[in-house]
Structure formats: structure tokens, C-alpha cells
Amino acid sequence: MPAQPPFTKLVAILPATVPFTGPETLERRSGIPFTLRLGANESAWGPSPRAVAAMCQAAAQVNWYGDPENYELRAALAAKHDVGLANVVIGSGIDDLLGWIVRAFIEPGEVVVASLGAYPTVAFHVDGFGGRLVRVPYRAGDDHNDLPALAAAAREHHAKLVYLANPDNPTGTWHSAEAVRAFVDDLPPGCLFILDEAYIEFAPPSTAPQIDIADPRVLRARTFSKAYGMAGARIGYLLGAAEIIAAFEKIRLHFGVNRVAQIGALAALEDTDFLAQVVAGTAAGREEYAALATSLGLRALPSATNFVAIDVGSERRASQLVAELARRGVFIRMPGAPPISRCIRVTVGLPDQREAFAAIFRDVWGE
């Protein structure tokens, strides 16, 4: 065979990475279908019926490209957040947006700081663009992101970016708005803070900090994947200073957000009653999971998200549980690094799904 052209230096040294092994892959590998899909923090409530109706209608016109400026959705989001149009940019989910940020700011060898075991797409993009990820362990004792240690690492390594999900995945824990604000002030000059608020709708109202939209130290990421129940539509957005948002115009794929998702997200945003129902239902489900854990002599970490991490004592036991539950048709996940890898992470399902999970989990734990 003739040789292919050489890969770029960057791609040649990249490990073959799969940040997430999807439930479909696991089913194909094991031959066992999942009857309970509680591992990817998808919303069990689905999208708003208004969003579904809008998307069905839009599907008939999917021969048209979407509006490359995402104008109507951006305008609605700008109004919701009381910011200018120039402060909002839409992408195909936070996963896509994280890639833009790393691409825009990180030269090969430059440092990004994140928690050890934090949301893995960050590491995926940092590796992919030749950056260096410095990882800071979660706080011992209460499994929260260690804000002073993250800021100290940013100072020590002259980090250009620091990433924090608040509320956090995979622990579900969260810091108050005041703590996050203080963290911003603690960062070294020239360090941009990526505040991933994928789960913010589930958190107590005081969790999202007030940050001046013109403050060039902070970029906030939001998504329609979680509380809005539209993970498969792939749509999310960034809020930030106009100069930073303008830079993404140079690198974003202008037709990268699909038309059906744009229209669906706009309808979802308008259905505030549905969102409130999802948030209330999720809170009830979290309490049920915590009570289930207690009844088995285990402890659930406090959560402000749509999932609960349950401390099962050791990484070995957590992986055994993930495997055994999979054998019984239950898809859950576990954090990837100590100390939080002694937990399993279970997405909040609908009441009947929670009941089914509780029965299987009790059985497996009893063994």
C-alpha cells in the first residue's frame, strides 16, 4: 500500500481517546440492552411539549440551513440574561464551546487548570490543542471543588484558563455565588475563568453569581441538554465580554448549530412552567436517592444537579456495582479519579424508574 501523508505533530502524539463510552456502545459490547438509562445525566422528563411541537414542524423544513447568526435564539437569551446580543454565542452544546475556548486561548504547552476527575471533555480539548492540563484534587472530606487550591495552581503554573463546573459533575456538589465571586478575584491576572453552568437550573437560586458581563475574566457556559431535556439536539451557549465572544466568530462553524435545535431551544426557553416542573421533580428524585442510600447504610453527596453521587466506600466496589448493574440492564457511571471514584453516579429518573432502580440496587447491594 502507498503511505498516507504524515499526521500533524499534534495528532501523531495524541492518544486514541474516547472521553465517553456511550450506553449504546456498552449495549453492543455486552449484548445486554439497558432498561434503565441513568448514566448520562439526560433529563428523564424529555423536552418541553412545546419544544417537541416546534421541532416537529421545523423538521419538515430541514432542507433549509439554520440561521447562521442564530439571531432569534440569541436575542431571546440576551433578553433572559439582560445582556447585549454581542455577549451571547450559540454552539452545539458546551462540549463544542469548550473546544472553541481552548482553541482561542491555548498555545501548545500552555496551562489549563481543572479539578482531578472533573468533566472529561475539558481534558479532551486541552490535549487536542496541545495544552497542558494541571489537575487539582477535590477537597478531602467534603468532595467539593477546592477553590483556593485551583486558584493557587492557576498562579503557580501561570494558567491561561481555569475550568470549574458549578454545580459540579461528577460530584453534584456546588459552591455559593459568593464563593465563586471570591474565586474570580483570587485568580491571577490574565487567567480566564470558564464557569460551566450546565446544571445551574437545578441549583438553589442564589448559586449563579452576579458577574458584570463586560468582565473579561469570566466566560459562562450554559446548555439546553440538562434541565431543558434536549441533549440529543446539541445546543448550548456562552455568555461573556463582547470582545471575547467576537473572537469565536472567527472559529465557530457558522452552520454548525442545526436548524431544528435552534427552533426547539427557542420554544423550550419560553416554556418556563415545564422547566419548573422538571426542576421540582428532579429535586424530589434527589431526595429519594439520598433516602435510598441512607436506608442501605450509605451516604449520598449533596447534589444541586439532576444526579446523585452515592459514596460506596471504595473505587473497587464502585466499579463492581457499575458492572453488576449493567448486567441487570441498568446504566450508571462513576467518577474517574480518587477520592471521588469511591462513588457511583446515578441520574434522577422518573418516579417509576427510581422505584425500579431502588429495587435492583437494593438487591445488588445486598449481595
Ligand X SMILES: Cc1ncc(COP(=O)(O)O)c(C=O)c1O
> Any contact of residue 196 with ligand X (CB under 6 A)?
yes
In this complex, which beta carbon is closest to ligand X, that of residue 77 or of residue 198?
198
Is residue 108 left, alpha or beta, with left meaning phi > 0 and alpha meaning psi from -120 to 50? beta
Q: Which of 215, 222, 217, 216 is nearest to 198 (CA)?
A: 222
Q: Which of 113, 70, 120, 117 is nearest to 95 (CA)?
A: 120
> Any contact of residue 115 with ligand X (CB under 6 A)?
no
> Any contact of residue 198 with ligand X (CB under 6 A)?
yes
* Alpha helices by DSSP H, the chain: 9-13, 23-30, 49-59, 71-81, 94-105, 121-128, 147-156, 177-186, 242-251, 259-270, 272-295, 315-327, 351-366
| The C-alpha cell that represents 219 in the structure block | 466566560
In the list 90, 94, 187, 292, the residue contacting ligand X (rule: CB under 6 A) is 94
Segment near ligand X (CB under 6 A); pick from 76-84, 92-100, 103-111, 155-163: 92-100
C-alpha 3/C-alpha 191 separation (Å) is: 43
**Are 184 and 217 spatial neighbours (Cβ–Cβ below 8 Å)?**
yes
Segment near ligand X (CB under 6 A); pick from 89-97, 182-190, 243-251, 320-328: 89-97
In the list 76, 116, 182, 231, the residue contacting ligand X (rule: CB under 6 A) is 231
Place of cell 448514566: 39
> Any contact of residue 119 with ligand X (CB under 6 A)?
yes
In this complex, which beta carbon is closest to ligand X, that of residue 176 or of residue 320?
176
State in angstroms the smallest separation of the CB of 365 from ligand X: 25
In the list 37, 95, 138, 174, the residue contacting ligand X (rule: CB under 6 A) is 95
Segment near ligand X (CB under 6 A); pick from 91-99, 150-158, 201-209, 327-335: 91-99
Please give the residues from 135 up to 174 whose contact with ligand X meets the rule CB under 6 A. 165, 169
Segment near ligand X (CB under 6 A); pick from 55-63, 90-98, 310-318, 330-338: 90-98
State in angstroms the smallest separation of the CB of 120 from ligand X: 9
Buried-state track 260-295, b at ≥16 Cβ within 10 A, e below 16: bbbbbbbbbbebeebbeebeebbbebbebbbebbee
Binding footprint of ligand X on the chain (CB under 6 A):
41, 93-95, 119, 165, 169, 196, 198, 223, 225, 231, 236
